[in-house]
Amino acid sequence: MSNRIIICEASEIITNGLYEIIQSMSGFDVVSRLDTPENLSEKILATDTNMLIINPSLLGFSDRNLPQQLVKEHPHLIIIALVTHYIDPSIVKPYDGIIEINDSKLKIINKLNQFAQDTEKQDKADDVELSKREIDVLVAVAKGLMNKEIADQMNISIHTVISHRKNITRKTGIKSVSGLTVYALLNNLIDETEVYK
């Protein structure tokens, strides 16, 4: 199945360069090029997009939670930050990945192929059997806790937490924190009010 991509970037030069790279790849298709995030959710729905590449600097203060909103509305959407200048790491934390302005063509291709593989694994993760402890760790990760905090909260060692996280990744095929958060939300393991506090 083709990966359908929307590029949301104000610079026409950057958009066109990215478009050329993506269109040279098999299994990838740019379905829309936007210069503002206006009505993005409707455009994602209308074009059946499963991958969004967006410059976080296009999002104003009031739009800063747009990535989380879009994931709630479109659970299988992969959101990639297109970083064109230095940006605070906390701003790109909710994204599934990052493409940087100085990435080579080969690096961009490799990253997009990896994101597509992660999506396929996530789609296959619906019938996963997690243990009670793994679910507890997954919930803690989805709530934004670090390994040390999880270990302290559950009275287990950091090594045990890491072991549980490896098992969760192996069973679900999901590596990113945002992907695990979506998984937890979709399986009613957490409430959306508990996410991104």
Tens-digit pLDDT profile for residues 88-122: 888 888 898 999 999 999 999 999 998 888 766 55
Give the residue-averaged pLDDT of 172-194: 84
For residue 75, what pLDDT is reported?
80
Task: Enter the tokens of residue 25.
Answer: 């790849």
For residue 119, what pLDDT is reported?
63
Mean pLDDT of the chain: 88
CA–CA separation, 13 and 127 (whole Å): 43
Question: What's the half-sphere exposure (Cβ side, CA atoms, 13 Å) at 175?
Answer: 11
Q: Where in the chain is the domain with CATH 3.40.50.2300?
A: 3-124
For residue 131, what pLDDT is reported?
85
Asked whether the beta carbons of 140 and 194 are under 8 A apart, the reply is no
Residue 124's pLDDT band (cuts 50, 70, 90): low
Asked whether the beta carbons of 100 and 83 are under 8 A apart, the reply is yes
Kindly state the percentage of the chain with pLDDT values over 70. 92
At residue 146, does pLDDT exceed 90? yes
Fold of 3-124: Rossmann fold (3.40.50)
Classify domain 128-194 by CATH number: 1.10.10.10
Tens-digit pLDDT profile for residues 43-78: 999 999 999 999 999 998 778 889 888 988 888 889
pLDDT winner (highest mean) among 108-112, 121-125, 155-159, 187-191? 108-112
DSSP state string for 6-59 = EEE-S-HHHHHHHHHHHHTSTTEEEEEEESS-TTHHHHHHHHT--EEEE-GGGS
CA–CA separation, 137 and 183 (whole Å): 13
CA–CA separation, 145 and 139 (whole Å): 9
What's the whole-model pTM score?
A: 0.63
DSSP 127: G
For residue 101, what pLDDT is reported?
95
Q: How many residues does the chain have?
A: 197
Q: Where in the chain is the domain with CATH 1.10.10.10?
A: 128-194
Kindly state the percentage of the chain with pLDDT values over 90. 54
For residue 179, what pLDDT is reported?
87
